[in-house]
Amino acid sequence: MKTARVKINGEVQQVTVNDDYSVVAAHGASWREDEVTWLPPQHGTVFALGLNYADHAAELAFKAPQQPLLFLKTPNTFIGHRQRSYRPDNIDYLHYEAELVAVIGKTARRVKQREAMDYVGGYTLCNDYAVRDYLENYYRPNLRVKCRDSLSPLGPYIIDRDDIDDPHDLRLSTYVNGELRQQGTTRDMVFKIPFLIEYLSAFMTLQPGDMISTGTPKGLADVQPGDEVVIEVEQVGRLINYIVSEQEYFDERATCL
């Protein structure tokens, strides 16, 4: 089953999602994909992984890390399916990152790898954009690169864990304006989901709704205002996002307030 949070006529609703992305509310009414406003499906802590695909690490001229390179994302950065992200003015390089996200389903503390998948409730997608111009070698990737408003589309929905055969054998793709730009497979993850759950839950408690965004393969490229960016993971789904200019984003936000 796939579940999402959407806004319909100004009201936030928990819905189930059909294969054609139409949604069904608790009372049975249904809407097409483009008739609702999609919200991030969860709002727990998001742990993201840097350099977690060996080919991507090589692309950036790094060796794959010996330990997971973890960073955190803040809630301001999350938006739902089919929403707009902004490219800051006066930068050279804003790139997408297609990532499979494991959503924690029950409280996890000191969980071992062999039991770790019991703690996964489902999966979603994150497009973990980065503004490379703002990278600094302090707590890298720093917040200015990874925690900017609107730059982490998340969703569209959470698909139940048992609906996915093997999360470590899924094709992963990014399309910009319909053209395939990034392709990889979750087989190439350096640190896999059970390892990451053991690693994180060894020093902290993971709560239901917390998310682990597992990193991206090679194939990054700059995107510009006007671009449509779609990330897709086989069996899980596709997450659509539109790039707008800084001015367009803040003008629209001002009219919403």
Residues that bind other proteins (CB under 8 A): 45, 47, 69-72, 74-77, 88, 134, 136-144, 147-149, 203-205, 207, 250
Bridge partners, residue 213, by sequence: 48, 101
Between 182 and 241, CB nearer to other proteins: 241
- Among residues 7 and 144, whose Cβ is nearest to other proteins? 144
State the minimum distance, in angstroms, from the CB of residue 255 to other proteins.
14
Q: Which is nearer to other proteins, 77 or 174 (CB)?
A: 77
Q: How far is the CB of 110 from other proteins (least distance, A)?
A: 11
To other proteins, the closest distance from the beta carbon of 213 in angstroms equals: 13
Closest contact distance (angstroms) between CB of 28 and other proteins is: 34
Q: Which two tokens stand for residue 151?
A: 């730059």
Smaller CB distance to other proteins: residue 165 or 203?
A: 203
Q: Report the amino acid identity of residue 89.
A: D
Nearer to other proteins, 9 or 66 (CB): 66
Q: Write the CA distances from 100 to 49, 91, 126, integer angstroms.
A: 11, 27, 7
Instruction: Write down the least CB distance from residue 54 to other proteins, Å.
Output: 18
How near is the Cβ of 137 to other proteins at its closest, in Å? 5
CB-nearer residue toward other proteins: 112 or 144 = 144
